[in-house]
Homo-oligomer: A and B are copies of this chain.
C-alpha cells in the first residue's frame, strides 16, 4: 500500500520487556521509546519549532478535536496542512479527539453512528463520526493518525466499559475502511478500562484487523498505579511484536520508565509541560517546585548536572524570581527544562536497552527519583480532571 509509516524493532530487552526501535514516518525517523510532547492547538505551549528540534524532539502531537473547533480543519487545509501551519517539519501524530469528546465537551451524546457534542468554547453543536474523524486527520496531514474511540470514565461500570469498548471496535473498523491509502499510519486504540478480561478482548479483536500501530487508551485517569501497570501488562502480552505500542496520557518520569520496562514504545502527555508552567521541575531526585523560597537566592541552576538551555544559562534564583513575578519567560524556561529532562531520559533508556542494561538503569533511576506521593498524585489528578470537566 506504499505505506511509508512503519516500525522497525531493533532490539528487545533480555532483562526486561523493554524494546528499542524506530518509527519510520514521512517526516522523520523517530527513535523509540519516545515521548511525544503535546501541542493540542498546533503549538507545544511556549515553544517554537526550532526549540523543539534543539531539544532532540522529532515528533509532536496535535489534537483533532481542538483544531476542528479552532481554527477549523479547512483553515489548516487552506494554509497547506498542519506541518506548514505550525512550521514544523518533523513528524506529527494527531489524536482523533475521542478522549476530548468525552472529557472536555459538555453534554456529549454518543450513538453507534457517532458523537453529538457541544463545543467547550462557544457551546455550538457538532456531530462527528469515525469516517469524519479519519477524514479530518487526513486533511490535517499528520504522519500518524488515530481511530475515533469511546473513552469511558475511570469509575465506569463493567457493563458501561464493555459497551464503550465494543463501540470502539466497530468504529476502529470503520476508520480503517474510511482511511484512504497514503503515507499516514492509522493506529487503533485498545480500550477496556481497568478490566483485564476486556483489555484482552480488545487487544485480540483489534490486532485481528491489522493496524499500523496499537495504542492503549483509557488509562492513567485516576486509577491506582498498580492497576495501570497490570492493564499495560495484560494488553502488551497480546499485541504483535512488530507493531509499535503507544500508551496514551502517561508522562511522569517514573510512569514512563515503568511502562517502557513493560514493552511500551510511545508516550504522550501534557504533564511535563503543564506542571512546568506551575513551576514543577524534574530533577534526578524527583520533582521540585521552583517557587519555594529555598530557591530565592540560589546561584546554581535548579539541576546543576542538567545540560538544557535553562540550566546552562540561568540561576535557580532567576527562575524563582520569574515565577514569583508571573513573568511569561518563566513558563518557557521551565518547559524547556522539563522536555529536556524527558527527552534525555528516553535517550538514556534507549541506550540502556541497546546495551542490555535497562533493568539496572531502571532500578537506579527509580531508586533516586522520588515520585510524587501516590495519595497527592491521585488527589491532584482528580482535581485536575474535575476542573477540566467544568471548563476550568
A positions within 8 Å CB-CB of B:
41-43, 45-49, 70-71, 75, 78-80, 85-87, 296-297, 299, 309, 313-315, 317-318, 320-322, 324-325, 327-329, 331-332
CB <8 Å contact, B313 and A46: no
In the bound complex, CA of A41 to CA of B78 (Å): 41
In the bound complex, CA of A321 to CA of B328 (Å): 19
Residue among B85, B313, B325 making CB contact with A315, cutoff 8 Å: B85
Residue among B315, B322, B332 making CB contact with A328, cutoff 8 Å: B332
CB <8 Å contact, B41 and A299: no
Task: Name the B residues within 8 Å of A331 (CB-CB).
Answer: 328
9 CB < 8 A contacts A-B: A42-B318, A49-B313, A71-B296, A75-B317, A78-B317, A79-B315, A79-B317, A85-B317, A87-B314
In the bound complex, CA of A320 to CA of B78 (Å): 15
Task: Name the B residues within 8 Å of A328 (CB-CB).
Answer: 45-46, 328, 331-332
Of residues A47, A317, A321, which shows the largest number of chain B Cβ atoms within 10 Å of its Cβ? A321
Task: Name the B residues within 8 Å of A321 (CB-CB).
Answer: 41-42, 70-71, 75, 85
In the bound complex, CA of A170 to CA of B78 (Å): 64
CB closest chain-B residue, reference A47: B329
Task: Name the B residues within 8 Å of A80 (CB-CB).
Answer: 299
CB closest chain-B residue, reference A66: B325
